[in-house]
Amino acid sequence: METRLIKVNPRQPRRDKIHAAAEIIERGGVVAFPTETVYGLGANALNPGAVEKIFEAKGRPADNPLIVHIARKKGVYELAEEVSDKAEELMDRYWPGPLTLILRKSEIVPEITTGGLDTVAIRMPDHCVALSLISEAKVPIAAPSANISGTPSPTTAKHVMKDLNGRIDAILDGGPTRIGVESTVIDLTSDPPTILRPGGVTLEELQSVRGDIELRPTCAKIRKGVKMKARSPGMKYRHYAPEAELILVEGDFNVVAREIQEIADASKKDGKRVGIIATEESAVRYKAEILKVIGSRNDLATVARNLFETLRMLDERGVDVIIAEGFGSKGLGLCVMDRLRKAADRVVQI
């Protein structure tokens, strides 16, 4: 299959281009498109044959459910069995935006879309290209991140091409995504509501709206030795991982830099090519062949935006080992650390 690359203006996409992509969705094909978080791989959420193609293209396990994307709020009432006041409050506040709600599914949602669950994940993305595509296709669009399962999520059309060229019908290229990490997934079928995956909307923000919201413990902690039943099926698989071995070093900032340099030196001695992910504050402390500054420790939005791009870029540079600094868990730090810990082969805590 040849993958068509369709370049679009992210703020004012041309109608004919959106139309071409929407037609593919209507015909039961798969199209990658930008959202404000990461690129999604979309198909008609209500067409089991089309959704099946998403799983095939990504190599995604069948029990890992997809997020259904809508352009208008009325879509929720069609896809969900019941919409509580809590759900209304969160939708009004955060949609369009990086918040995914888990609700009881209605009968129209096929089992394949929800990985066999009786709940459905729904979100309204905050991106003109995504919203135009959904409106033009006139169906809800199921879309996981547009990468091969297990690799870092795609934040540019180039990342999608690298993973999925020849496996999908088309890519709408609307440039790099603004947030760079996925949406926050919140389960509203549990009491209290539980965050299953931290993301673009922070825990603190959500708790300021609703004090009863809890964080699923495994989101914040290292899962070393702790076995819990995976409530969000996606959580049991290795995720976001670069090809290189990833070592994450967490702890007091001053000690961390020294430890990272030691690991880097030892790896180099072993004949390995090393890449260090540093911050603006720490960059001067390192001596390494490949040093990538991901942002400032005081600006986690930039760190989040650069995270997946940085992992992919270091793979492209052909490093064997990537060593990264940890961050605190305040604000977007929680989400950045969730991704880094899941991607890491080894977490060093000092």
Residue 183 interacts with ligand TXA (CB under 6 A): yes or no: yes
Kindly determine how many residues on this chain lie close enough to bind ligand TXA according to the rule CB under 6 A. Answer: 28
Q: Output phi, psi for 40, to 5 deg.
A: -110, 155
Which C-beta is closer to Mg ion: that of 145 or that of 232? Answer: 145
Residue 176 interacts with ligand TXA (CB under 6 A): yes or no: no
Residue that has been written with the tokens 């001596």 in this structure: 287
CA–CA distance, 342 with 236 (Å, rounded to integer): 10
Residue 100 interacts with ligand TXA (CB under 6 A): yes or no: yes
CB of 223 to ligand TXA, least distance (A): 15
Residue 121 interacts with ligand TXA (CB under 6 A): yes or no: yes
Residue 164 interacts with ligand TXA (CB under 6 A): yes or no: no
Residue 155 interacts with ligand TXA (CB under 6 A): yes or no: no
CB of 322 to ligand TXA, least distance (A): 21
Helix axes 157-164, 300-316, angle to 10 degrees: 40
Inter-residue contact 102 to 154 (CB < 8 Å): no
Q: Distances from the Cα of 43 to the Cαs of 4, 50, 55, 80, 260, in angstroms? A: 15, 6, 11, 19, 43
Residue 184 interacts with Mg ion (CB under 5 A): yes or no: no
DSSP 329: S
Q: Which stretch binds Mg ion (CB under 5 A): 121-129, 137-145, 162-170, 283-291?
A: 137-145
241: left (phi over 0), alpha (psi -120 to 50) or beta: beta
Residue 64 interacts with Mg ion (CB under 5 A): yes or no: no
Q: Which stretch binds Mg ion (CB under 5 A): 87-95, 145-153, 157-165, 208-216?
A: 145-153
21, 35, 244, 300: which one binds ligand TXA (CB under 6 A) = 35
Angle at 98 between CA 218 and CA 51, to 5 degrees: 85
Element at 313 (helix H, strand E) = helix 300-316
DSSP E strands, 59-169: 67-69, 99-104, 119-123, 141-142
Picked from ligand TXA, Mg ion, none, the partner binding residue 40 (CB below 5 to 8 A depending on kind) is ligand TXA
Residue 145 interacts with Mg ion (CB under 5 A): yes or no: yes
Residue 149 interacts with Mg ion (CB under 5 A): yes or no: no
180, 234, 275, 326: which one binds ligand TXA (CB under 6 A) = 234
Residues that bind Mg ion (CB under 5 A): 145
